[in-house]
Amino acid sequence: MKIDEVPQDRGMMNDHRKEVCYAVDDQGNYVLTGSAGWDPKNIANGQAWELIDKAAGAALQKVRRGQASPLFYHMARHQMSVGLLAKYAGVGRLRVWLHLKPGPFSRLSPAGLQRYAEVFDISVRELKTVPESHVSGSPSV
């Protein structure tokens, strides 16, 4: 890649930061230069976020219909599986799975709720509620 071919397609870096790219200058020597981003990878990254947002959106619908507890949405929003959430919360997988149902979730003790809230860095009150609509975690998409 020549230095004047280094792409500057801003996308994933949301501010003025640039990443380093290796390119060849006029004399054929390698130099480090900044790149704001590149379309093919912005597209690939956007594709990954679409999947995450689709899963989170579907989870939100399920919670709104009363088929799952709010924990289900928060888990999806943070790209977590039951196994991963179990590890973060220090709760058994089976119990996490159970807490994804509205009934068992509503019977959780304050300490149990606190555990989950800490994983997501939110308050217990926020944990018990879900937003009107899902907002993507990646604003650049």
Partner 1 sequence: MKIDFAHRQSAHCESGVCSNLLHHYGLDISEAMAFGMGSGMFFGYLPFIRVNKLPLTTYRCEMGGIFKRVTKRLGCRVNWQKFRSPERAMAALDERLDQGIPVACRTGGYWLPYFPPAFRFHFNMHNLVVYGKEGDDYIISDPVFPGPERCSHRDLLKARFAKGAMAPKGTMYYLKQVPRQVDLAPAVRKGIREVCRRMLRTPGPVIGIRGIRFLAGQVRKWPKKLGEERALLYVGQLIRMQEELGTGGAGFRFMFAAFLQEAATLIETPQLVELSRAMTDVGDRWRKFAVIGGRLCKGRASGDDTYEAMGTLLNECADGEASVYRELLQIV
Distance CA 30, CA 140 (A): 31
Q: Which residues of this protein are in contact with partner 1, per CB under 8 A?
A: 1, 11-15, 17-24, 28-30, 32, 34-35, 38-41, 43-45, 47-49, 51, 78-80, 84, 87-88, 137-141
Decide if 32 contacts 21 (C-beta within 8 A).
Answer: yes
Decide if 37 contacts 7 (C-beta within 8 A).
Answer: yes
Nearest to 69 by CA among 111, 113, 135: 113
Q: Pick the closer one to partner 1 by CB: 45 or 101.
A: 45
Smallest separation (angstroms) from partner 1 to the CB of 66: 28
Smallest separation (angstroms) from partner 1 to the CB of 24: 6
Q: Pick the closer one to partner 1 by CB: 48 or 94.
A: 48
